[in-house]
Amino acid sequence: MSGSSSEDDGAGEYVFYRDRSDWKDIKPIPQDEDDPVVAIDYSPQFIDVFDYFRAIVNKGEKSKRALKLTQDAVKLNPANYSVWQYRREILKELNEDLQAELHFVRAIILKQPKNYQVWQHRRILVEWTDDPSQEKDITESAINQDAKNYHAWQHRQWVVKRFSLYEGELEFTEKLIDVDVRNNSAWNHRYFTINNSTGFSDDVIGTEIGFTLKNINKAKENESSWNYLRGLIFQSNNGLSRNKEITSFCENLYQGGNRSIFLLSLIIDMCKEQLDKDIKDPSYELSRGIELCEELANKLDCIRANYWNYLADSLRRLSGGGDVKDV
């Protein structure tokens, strides 16, 4: 990436900085590669731009022409932190139009949506302008390209929390989950939104449990929705086996022959909960939890057999029954 010419910058019409009359006062500074074993094959345009970039940084020049030079540099290598940092210094020094800069950065983000430095530059611009009005739109555009783009989600969560823009976020995640129920990023953002806005009241938990169980039915082996369900239960003081909606759902799945490791793991936790919360429910005795651990270790999830055997032994110790097996 850093060695190629900019395909959308009119490379065929490019005038080298060394041939521009308004740059005759600057002596370019070549990159000191210290006699590399294998030299990087930079394009002539890349060498020209960065030789002049090093020169203006060395000189400390913050001017309109220097700003244009940094624009050429970031188009050639949008991941170069030093260029972005110096560009910000110029923007501040010249009191440039930051809305124009946001527009410039948007174009780069939509072509390089997983470039951390561009997102970081945009965050700083939003902080300077105190204007988050465009951020949901640009993150949605990036997420539509890749629904699990970490940088876009990170930026969205920052701007939502920083400016309290929680309205519409649950609907946004619901739309994404409807398209791809396995989108862990959307599930994470849903939890983030509730946790930082309304909080997990009993009413919210009830609504979210219904939403989650509906989506578990769509993909019973989807770890994301099972983990979200666990998060809801963690926020509730009622416990796992006291929630009849969850227990009925899980038992119906189990009786129907479903043996998802996430389902069985949840039932095991319900069994362990009988001691932790002093609940007496014959459907969730420790012996059932031990049997499920053994089934997972020996048949359903052999790759993690050591873990399930360890958990079975832990349940035996809790029940006070028998010797602990060697793992």
From the list 64, 68, 111, 114, the catalytic residue is: 114
Q: Closest by alpha carbon to 161, among 125, 189, 119?
A: 189
Q: Closest by alpha carbon to 119, among 95, 97, 143?
A: 143
**Do the Cβ atoms of 114 and 149 come closer than 8 Å?**
yes
CA distances from 13 to 5, 6, 75, 195, 308 (A): 12, 11, 15, 53, 66
How far is it, in rounded angstroms, from Cα 301 to Cα 260? 10
Annotation says 114 is catalytic? yes
- Residue 265 in tokens: 């793991």
Please report, as a single letter, which amino acid is at residue 37: V
Length of the chain: 327
- Residue 190 in tokens: 């849903």
Contacts of 312 by beta carbon, 8 Å cutoff, 6+ apart: 289, 290, 293, 294, 297, 325
CA distances from 279 to 234, 274, 275, 297 (A): 17, 4, 7, 27
Active site residues: 114
